Amino acid sequence: MIMNTNLFKYCLRLGDNSLILGHRLAEYCSYGPYLEEDISITNTSLDLIGQAEAILKYAALVENAERTADDLAYRRPEIEFYNVQLVEQPNGNFAHLIARQFFIDAFNFYLYSALKESTDNTIASIAAKSLKEVTYHLRRSSEWVIRLGDGTSESKIKMQEAINDFWLYTFEMFEMDEVDEELITKAITVDLKPIQDLWNKKVDEILVMATLTRPEDGYMATGSRKGYHSEHLGYILAEMQYLPRAYPTAKW
Amino acid sequence: MVVAEKTYKHIWKLFEQIPDPEIPVLSILDLGIVRRITSEDDTIVITITPTYSGCPAMNLFEEDIIAKLKENNIMNVRVEMTYDPPWTTAWITDKARKGLEDYGIAPPVRGSQDKGELFKEGVKNVRCPLCKSTNTKVISQFGSTACKALYKCEDCLEPFDYFKCI
């Protein structure tokens, strides 16, 4: 089998988004505002890591180079990760965690709704499975944006700040390059422009309900499609990959 | 070697004896995790599907299945995972719904496969498994595991797990 490089890269994008965000959420374990919410955060993390495993397994199959999903997660350097920079941003306070989650949940919801119809059966089935979980994620993060935005004067300030702080990382989700071009012609993936329109509509709707203001578009982060990241990804990988790199033959 | 029809029947029967690791009143068949049993030459292939992508019980299912079949002298076994079609709460049997409620977990409300339901404010009419009141409210979208939400009964005041519809 000759590897389809673009399909491989595309799988890494999807898988890395879930893996890195899943890791970030796991870091928040025991820091939730109360017990039930703490459990929600780690359960969301678990869903994301499960989704990452499914898609990275497929990436390994597509690559056909005797690398496993674990090798892809734990042995790749930073420059070969293709997650958007939004998901690697530090947890910050609870409003930051929710803003980051809301932005990516809304993106994942519309993306997976479309990928369900992919001509690639594996991607379609993983998207259909993930969509069921992401639907819950989006509902939860939307409710929190509204609750904090339309809450106390203090929570409103914090929620607005978090939305403002992460706004520059939201454009990257919709960037397209030659990978998308090829896969769109094969109907394996979809044009991200209509996804962006749906995302904008959803974000506006929730921000209005939350009595928050949509930030002005300014400088927008870019680079992750080529493996360029913020400084934070290196620290995540240092921690996440330490054990398999230090003890290469370690087994569960 | 062709695997005889009666071997398949025997295996399905054996699976009734494997308890679900998180909800031991149920067998692994009750939740619809086991999708099919086929064979390749003389290897039995068991196809299972996760309730949730990150379900931590999947490895245990695999180990339990292989161990149970070994106990019964069925040695050549492979367990495969599929996501297609995605697992749905509609596959939970009536017996299992009753088992869940007796165990203290409210079973998924019927007819909620429509994903539009998910965007309403929590599912209405979830019945408290303890006092059977429907005067209940959602506390958190996620309970003790990813497949459950946490509810509270406004009458008997007990918190309880609700098996979410997906």
**Selected residue of B51, B53, B82, B137 to mutate for chain A interface (largest A Cβ count, 10 A):** B53
Helix (H) or strand (E) holding B153: strand B148-153
pLDDT surpassing 60 at residue A164: yes
Go through the domains of chain B in sequence order and give each one's CATH number.
5-81 (3.30.300.130), 93-163 (no CATH)
C-alpha–C-alpha distance, residues B43 and B55, integer Å:
26
Whole-structure pTM over 0.90, yes or no?
Answer: no
Instruction: Write out B55-119 in H/E/C secondary structure.
Output: CCCHHHHHHHHHHHHHHCCCCCEEEEECCCCCCCHHHCCHHHHHHHHHHCEECCCCCCCCHHHHH
User: In B, which residues are within 8 Å of A125 by CB distance?
Assistant: 82-86
Using a pLDDT cut of 70, give the percent of chain A over it.
99
Do the Cβ atoms of A46 and B87 come within 8 Å?
Answer: no
Q: What is the average pLDDT value for chain A, to the nearest integer?
A: 96
Query: How far is the first Cα of chain A from the last one, in angstroms, to the nearest whole number?
Result: 31
Fold of A5-246: Ferritin (1.20.1260)
Enter the tokens of residue A108.
Answer: 């994942």
Do the Cβ atoms of B83 and A129 come within 8 Å?
Answer: yes
pLDDT surpassing 60 at residue B121: no
Do the Cβ atoms of B86 and A54 come within 8 Å?
Answer: no
CA atoms within 13 A on the CB side of A171: 10
Enter the tokens of residue A173.
Answer: 């989700």
User: In A, which residues are within 8 Å of B54 by CB distance?
Assistant: 46-51, 53
Do the Cβ atoms of B53 and A47 come within 8 Å?
Answer: yes
- Contacts of residue B126, Cβ cutoff 8 Å, sequence gap at least 6: B106, B109, B134, B136, B138, B151, B162
- Whether A238 and A245 have beta carbons less than 8 Å apart is answered as no
Tell me: the pLDDT tens digits for A55-104? 999 999 999 999 999 999 999 999 999 999 999 999 999 999 999 999 99
**Selected residue of A134, A136, A206 to mutate for chain B interface (largest B Cβ count, 10 A):** A136
Selection from A133, A152, A23 nearest residue A95 by Cα: A152
Do the Cβ atoms of B150 and A129 come within 8 Å?
Answer: no
A76: left (phi > 0), else alpha (psi -120 to 50), else beta? beta
**Selected residue of A23, A46, A115, A206 to mutate for chain B interface (largest B Cβ count, 10 A):** A46
Residue indicated by tokens 């397209």: A176
Do the Cβ atoms of B86 and A129 come within 8 Å?
Answer: yes
Q: What is the pLDDT of residue B114?
A: 43
State the ipTM, two decimals: 0.75
What is the average per-residue pLDDT within B72-99?
Answer: 90
Residue indicated by tokens 């494997």: B18
Give B2's pLDDT tier (boundaries 50, 70, 90).
low
What is the average per-residue pLDDT within B113-126?
Answer: 54
Residues from A contacting B (CB-CB < 8 Å) are 36-37, 39-40, 43-44, 46-51, 53-54, 121, 124-126, 128-130, 132-133, 135-136, 139-140
Cis amide leading into B129 (omega within 30): no
- Whether A193 and A175 have beta carbons less than 8 Å apart is answered as no
C-alpha–C-alpha distance, residues A105 and A48, integer Å:
11
SS3 A116: coil
Q: What is the pLDDT of residue B95?
A: 87
C-alpha–C-alpha distance, residues A117 and A125, integer Å:
9
Do the Cβ atoms of A132 and B115 come within 8 Å?
Answer: yes
Tell me: the pLDDT tens digits for A166-220? 999 999 999 999 999 999 999 999 999 999 999 999 999 999 999 999 999 999 9
